[in-house]
Amino acid sequence: MAEEDPNGNEYEAAARSTAPRWGPQHVGALQLARLYSPAVKEAAAIFLALPWLLSETLAVTAALRLSGKRLQEWVCVILCLVLFIINFTFLLLHFSTVHICQIVLGIAVKEAVATILAPPWLPSETLAVTTPLQLSVLGMLTADFASGMVHWGADTWGSVDIPVIGKAFIRPFREHHIDPTAITRHDFVETNGDNCMIPILPLAHMAYKFLTYTSEALAASYLWDCYVLALALFVTWTNQIHKWSHSYFGLPRWVTLLQDWHVVLPRKHHRIHHVSPHETYYCITTGWCNYPLDQLGFWRHMERLIERVTGQKPRSDDLAWAKKTD
């Protein structure tokens, strides 16, 4: 289902204009799409083969044919996938029946919360009744809030012209507001490549621990490692969840159920953000944080502070791309 103007952003004179203002034919959308450096499809097909089946010649050929942004996405997706497999395998090898509850409920860490999140005045009895399910929900809330911070920052500030990060990271946010369904035409690598980069360092550190720490040390940090792996999974899948919120056909039944139950970002919920000027409901993992943050005026307070310090107007670059006509 097309979503060129999902919330009636075209009205009055704009609605009567013959020039496309929203969607893939919008001038700004076309220019932004050309800034993305895609890989040759054959190189992607080569990389889909298992690494140990690649000959050295094919691997070099694939690397040479990938370039720019697409290369970064492929490297991040492959590294992230490999690290997930390694760490999950080690967690299974170190599995104990003591950990069944944490694994089944989505894993969370009492020891980590006691060390990192709990204030000194919090009674130990309070921590004792904290369940793994409660802490996994806290992890989902953290991922949702983090997605909102990143989304708000990229939507509101910066420019496509900024060296390195402009075309690589800000460009997709500008394109998305003009052509919301562009994300549904992206393949798995383009959709998830940037998010796969985020957990690489913590996952790499976890793999290092499994390879170098003693059994006693690994047993002591086992629950924390489970928590990190689960949190990394939520972060990695945020953009895929976002893509699902713009997909109106062909979604698996389990995805639509998670959306209906508001476990992941629902489609109707996310449409609120896509009413111009796109200044609300930034959290896109579960969407749980959107209403309370809006009620607190969190984003407007942050924008006023940054504008006062830097003199930059919020969403000025985003608006400039939306107004492009040539």
Which residue, 165, 163, 143, 140, is CA-closest to 154? 165
Distances (CA, A) of 160 to 67, 198, 291: 19, 21, 29
Average pLDDT over residues 123-139: 54
Element counts in the chain: helices (H) and strands (E): 21, 0
* Beta carbons of 26 and 178 less than 8 angstroms apart: yes
What average pLDDT does this structure show over 208-226? Answer: 87
Supply the pLDDT for residue 6: 45
Average pLDDT over residues 283-292: 95
**pLDDT in the model for residue 114:** 46
Give pLDDT, residue 51.
42
| pLDDT of the residue at 272 | 94
Residue 290 has pLDDT above 90, yes or no: yes
Q: Is the pLDDT of residue 241 over 60?
A: yes
CB neighbourhood size of 165 (10 A) = 13
Q: Is the pLDDT of residue 102 over 70?
A: no
- Note the pLDDT of residue 228: 82
Q: CA 11 to CA 5: how far, in whole Å?
A: 10
Per-residue pLDDT tens for 149-164?
Answer: 999 999 999 888 888 7
State the average pLDDT for the chain: 76
- Residue 125 phi, psi dihedral angles, 5° rounding: -65, -30
Q: Is the pLDDT of residue 139 over 90?
A: no
If you average pLDDT over residues 181-206, what whole number do you get?
A: 91
**What whole-number percentage of the chain has pLDDT above 90?**
39
> Is the pLDDT score of 306 beyond 80?
yes
Banded model confidence at residue 43, pLDDT cuts 50, 70, 90 = very low
Domains of the chain: which residue ranges? Answer: 22-322
**pLDDT at residue 217 tops 80:** yes
Confidence of residue 124 (pLDDT cuts 50, 70, 90): very low
Distances (CA, A) of 208 to 86, 89, 168, 235: 10, 13, 29, 21
pLDDT for 100 equals: 58
pLDDT at 86: 95
Across 48-62, 178-192, 204-218, 257-271, least confident range: 48-62
* pLDDT attached to residue 182: 85
Assess whether pLDDT exceeds 50 at residue 79. yes
Q: In the predicted model, is pLDDT for residue 55 greater than 80?
A: no
